[in-house]
Amino acid sequence: MKRSSVAATMVALVAVAASGVALAQKSPACKPVSDAMLKAIVTDHTLEVTADGGKVSHLVTSGGTMYIERNGKWVKSPMTSADMEAQEKENLADTKVYTCAPVAAVPGVSGTAYHVHSESEDAGVSDGTVVVSGGLPVFIDVTRKSDGQTSHSVQRYGYAGVHAPM
Protein backbone atom coordinates (compact mmCIF):
# COMPACT_ATOMS: atom_id res chain seq x y z
CA MET A 1 0.00 0.00 0.00
CA LYS A 2 1.51 3.35 -1.01
CA ARG A 3 1.27 6.19 1.48
CA SER A 4 1.87 9.92 1.18
CA SER A 5 4.86 11.21 3.14
CA VAL A 6 2.59 12.66 5.84
CA ALA A 7 0.66 9.41 6.10
CA ALA A 8 3.91 7.44 6.18
CA THR A 9 5.18 9.71 8.94
CA MET A 10 1.92 9.21 10.82
CA VAL A 11 2.36 5.47 10.60
CA ALA A 12 5.90 5.85 11.87
CA LEU A 13 4.85 8.14 14.70
CA VAL A 14 1.95 6.06 15.81
CA ALA A 15 4.67 3.48 15.82
CA VAL A 16 2.35 0.63 16.21
CA ALA A 17 3.36 -0.63 12.82
CA ALA A 18 6.65 1.17 12.53
CA SER A 19 7.91 -0.01 15.88
CA GLY A 20 7.09 -3.55 14.98
CA VAL A 21 4.68 -3.86 17.88
CA ALA A 22 2.30 -5.62 15.57
CA LEU A 23 -1.22 -6.39 16.61
CA ALA A 24 -1.51 -9.99 15.53
CA GLN A 25 -2.66 -12.09 18.42
CA LYS A 26 -0.31 -15.00 17.86
CA SER A 27 0.11 -15.60 21.59
CA PRO A 28 -2.81 -15.44 24.06
CA ALA A 29 -0.47 -13.59 26.45
CA CYS A 30 -0.53 -10.69 23.94
CA LYS A 31 -4.26 -10.00 24.25
CA PRO A 32 -3.88 -7.14 26.79
CA VAL A 33 -1.21 -5.51 24.61
CA SER A 34 -2.99 -5.93 21.27
CA ASP A 35 -6.33 -4.80 22.75
CA ALA A 36 -4.64 -1.71 24.22
CA MET A 37 -2.87 -0.83 20.98
CA LEU A 38 -6.06 -1.11 18.95
CA LYS A 39 -7.98 0.91 21.51
CA ALA A 40 -5.34 3.67 21.43
CA ILE A 41 -5.72 4.10 17.68
CA VAL A 42 -9.35 5.20 18.07
CA THR A 43 -8.96 7.00 21.43
CA ASP A 44 -8.06 10.70 21.57
CA HIS A 45 -4.42 10.89 22.64
CA THR A 46 -1.11 12.63 22.41
CA LEU A 47 2.02 10.76 21.48
CA GLU A 48 5.61 11.85 21.98
CA VAL A 49 8.21 9.75 20.17
CA THR A 50 11.89 10.07 20.93
CA ALA A 51 13.88 8.30 18.23
CA ASP A 52 17.54 7.55 17.66
CA GLY A 53 19.68 10.64 18.09
CA GLY A 54 17.15 12.26 20.43
CA LYS A 55 14.83 13.53 17.71
CA VAL A 56 11.41 14.15 19.27
CA SER A 57 8.19 14.03 17.27
CA HIS A 58 4.64 14.77 18.39
CA LEU A 59 1.27 13.45 17.28
CA VAL A 60 -2.26 14.24 18.40
CA THR A 61 -5.33 12.18 17.60
CA SER A 62 -8.57 14.02 18.32
CA GLY A 63 -12.07 13.13 17.14
CA GLY A 64 -10.70 10.56 14.69
CA THR A 65 -8.40 13.12 13.04
CA MET A 66 -4.65 12.77 13.32
CA TYR A 67 -2.21 15.69 13.48
CA ILE A 68 1.57 15.68 13.32
CA GLU A 69 3.98 18.40 14.29
CA ARG A 70 6.48 19.01 11.48
CA ASN A 71 9.19 21.63 11.80
CA GLY A 72 7.30 23.35 14.61
CA LYS A 73 3.99 23.48 12.73
CA TRP A 74 0.98 21.21 13.04
CA VAL A 75 -0.26 19.44 9.91
CA LYS A 76 -3.52 17.53 9.57
CA SER A 77 -2.87 14.03 8.34
CA PRO A 78 -4.79 12.65 5.37
CA MET A 79 -4.89 9.45 7.43
CA THR A 80 -7.71 9.13 9.98
CA SER A 81 -7.94 6.89 13.01
CA ALA A 82 -10.18 4.59 10.97
CA ASP A 83 -7.53 4.46 8.22
CA MET A 84 -4.86 3.63 10.80
CA GLU A 85 -7.03 0.92 12.33
CA ALA A 86 -7.55 -0.63 8.88
CA GLN A 87 -3.79 -0.42 8.20
CA GLU A 88 -3.05 -2.18 11.48
CA LYS A 89 -5.49 -4.96 10.69
CA GLU A 90 -3.69 -5.40 7.37
CA ASN A 91 -0.32 -5.42 9.16
CA LEU A 92 -1.40 -8.03 11.66
CA ALA A 93 -2.11 -10.49 8.87
CA ASP A 94 1.57 -10.24 7.89
CA THR A 95 3.01 -10.81 11.36
CA LYS A 96 4.67 -14.19 11.62
CA VAL A 97 5.72 -14.14 15.30
CA TYR A 98 4.17 -12.18 18.15
CA THR A 99 4.90 -13.07 21.77
CA CYS A 100 4.36 -11.21 25.03
CA ALA A 101 5.33 -11.84 28.63
CA PRO A 102 4.81 -9.77 31.78
CA VAL A 103 8.03 -8.16 33.03
CA ALA A 104 9.14 -6.01 35.96
CA ALA A 105 7.65 -2.54 36.22
CA VAL A 106 9.25 0.33 34.32
CA PRO A 107 10.54 2.91 36.83
CA GLY A 108 8.38 6.03 36.83
CA VAL A 109 5.68 4.51 34.61
CA SER A 110 2.46 3.26 36.18
CA GLY A 111 0.85 0.16 34.66
CA THR A 112 1.52 -3.44 33.70
CA ALA A 113 4.69 -3.95 31.67
CA TYR A 114 5.11 -6.58 28.96
CA HIS A 115 8.10 -7.69 26.91
CA VAL A 116 6.91 -7.86 23.30
CA HIS A 117 8.69 -9.64 20.45
CA SER A 118 7.39 -9.53 16.89
CA GLU A 119 8.62 -10.55 13.46
CA SER A 120 7.18 -9.68 10.08
CA GLU A 121 8.49 -9.34 6.58
CA ASP A 122 7.65 -5.62 6.33
CA ALA A 123 8.50 -4.45 9.86
CA GLY A 124 11.42 -6.76 10.58
CA VAL A 125 12.18 -7.98 14.09
CA SER A 126 11.36 -5.93 17.14
CA ASP A 127 11.79 -6.33 20.86
CA GLY A 128 10.52 -3.94 23.43
CA THR A 129 8.56 -3.10 26.51
CA VAL A 130 4.94 -1.96 26.38
CA VAL A 131 3.28 -0.59 29.52
CA VAL A 132 -0.52 -0.77 29.63
CA SER A 133 -2.63 1.19 32.11
CA GLY A 134 -6.42 1.42 32.10
CA GLY A 135 -6.54 -0.71 28.96
CA LEU A 136 -4.38 1.73 26.97
CA PRO A 137 -0.65 1.88 26.20
CA VAL A 138 1.16 4.60 28.14
CA PHE A 139 4.77 3.79 27.31
CA ILE A 140 6.65 1.84 24.64
CA ASP A 141 10.41 1.31 24.43
CA VAL A 142 11.28 -0.65 21.30
CA THR A 143 14.27 -1.65 19.21
CA ARG A 144 13.61 -2.74 15.65
CA LYS A 145 15.88 -4.43 13.14
CA SER A 146 14.81 -4.21 9.53
CA ASP A 147 16.67 -4.15 6.21
CA GLY A 148 20.05 -4.29 7.96
CA GLN A 149 19.25 -1.21 10.06
CA THR A 150 18.60 -0.99 13.79
CA SER A 151 16.40 1.73 15.24
CA HIS A 152 15.24 2.54 18.74
CA SER A 153 12.37 4.68 19.98
CA VAL A 154 10.63 5.56 23.21
CA GLN A 155 6.97 6.51 22.95
CA ARG A 156 4.87 8.19 25.62
CA TYR A 157 1.09 8.39 25.33
CA GLY A 158 -1.19 10.89 27.08
CA TYR A 159 -4.98 10.78 27.26
CA ALA A 160 -6.04 13.71 29.46
CA GLY A 161 -7.17 17.04 28.00
CA VAL A 162 -6.54 16.07 24.38
CA HIS A 163 -7.72 18.56 21.75
CA ALA A 164 -6.94 19.30 18.12
CA PRO A 165 -3.84 21.51 17.90
CA MET A 166 -5.18 23.52 14.97
Q: Is residue 76 part of a domain?
A: yes
Instruction: Provide the pLDDT for residue 50.
Output: 96
Neighbours of 10 (CB within 10 A): 26
Partners of residue 125 on adjacent β-strands: 119, 145
Q: Is residue 165 part of a domain?
A: no
Q: Is residue 164 part of a domain?
A: no
User: What angle do the packed helices 31-41 and 81-94 form, to 10 degrees?
Assistant: 150
Q: Is residue 163 part of a domain?
A: no
**pLDDT tens digits for range 14-67:** 443 334 455 555 688 888 998 899 999 999 999 999 999 899 999 999 999 999
Q: What is the CATH number of the domain that holds 56?
A: 2.50.20
Mean pLDDT over 74-89 rounds to 91
Domain count, the chain: 1
Read off the pTM. 0.85
Give residue 11's pLDDT band: very low, low, confident or very high (50, 70, 90): very low
Structural domain of 17: 5-158
Q: Is residue 70 part of a domain?
A: yes
